[in-house]
Amino acid sequence: MSYAFDHVHLKAPDPGKTAQWFVQAFNFKITSDAVRSWGDRFIRCETEDGTVVNISGARNQEKMGPGDASAHWGLEHIGIKVENMETEVERLLGLGAKLMEGPVDVPNGPIIAFISVPDDVRIELLQWER
């Protein structure tokens, strides 16, 4: 059997606000937006290259823990390629992101930076081309 990556799912107190931030920040496209039978608003988005990112609120009776944009065990961050690190960091900070680390020029690798975005999601920005 073969396996393929399907999606990333983000939970947000206000899925619409979070989805719009990703639309503005990274050109996500919203492909559907509905309230499901178990009470959560579920927004399906796609990145420019077709990766699916679902953003939803809490389901009925679901207790949500806090977000954590710091380094931690488990699913730790989402990586997004950028063309110009300096320009993108400045632009994203203007949209409300917080710089957590970097930019760092990784020897024999990309320039990277970590940011915190709405709902304490950790994102790694990667500039591969110089």
Task: Indicate if 85 and 50 belong to the same structural domain.
Answer: no
Task: Indicate if 49 and 88 belong to the same structural domain.
Answer: no
CA distance 96 to 90: 10
Q: What is the pLDDT of residue 130?
A: 82
Q: 83 in a domain, yes or no?
A: yes
Task: Indicate if 119 and 83 belong to the same structural domain.
Answer: yes
Sorted by sequence, the CB contacts under 8 Å of residue 5 that are 6+ apart come out as 51
Q: What is the mean pLDDT of the chain?
A: 96
Q: What is the pLDDT of residue 2?
A: 86
Average pLDDT over residues 89-101: 98
Task: Indicate if 123 and 84 belong to the same structural domain.
Answer: yes
Q: What CATH number should be reported for the domain holding residue 94?
A: 3.10.180.10
Give the single-character DSSP code of 74: S
Q: 20 in a domain, yes or no?
A: yes
Task: Indicate if 46 and 15 belong to the same structural domain.
Answer: yes
Chain position carrying tokens 């947000």 = 12
Report whether pLDDT(96) > 90. yes
Q: What is the pLDDT of residues 50-88, one digit of tens each?
A: 999 999 999 999 999 999 999 999 999 999 999 999 999
Structural domain harbouring 21:
7-56
Task: Indicate if 83 and 51 belong to the same structural domain.
Answer: no
Tell me: cis bond preceding 103? Omega within 30 of 0 counts.
Answer: yes
Ramachandran class of 96: left when φ > 0, alpha when ψ lies in -120 to 50, beta otherwise: left
Report whether pLDDT(21) > 90. yes
Report whether pLDDT(18) > 90. yes
Q: What is the pLDDT of residue 3?
A: 85
Average pLDDT over residues 106-122: 97
- Whether pTM > 0.85 for this model: the answer is yes
Chain position carrying tokens 């020029």 = 105
Q: pLDDT tier at 44 (50, 70, 90 boundaries)?
A: very high
- For the chain, the domain total comes to 2
CA distance 110 to 10: 26
Average pLDDT over residues 5-33: 97
CA distance 19 to 10: 10
Structure tokens at 75: 């699913």
CA distance 57 to 11: 5
Q: 122 in a domain, yes or no?
A: yes
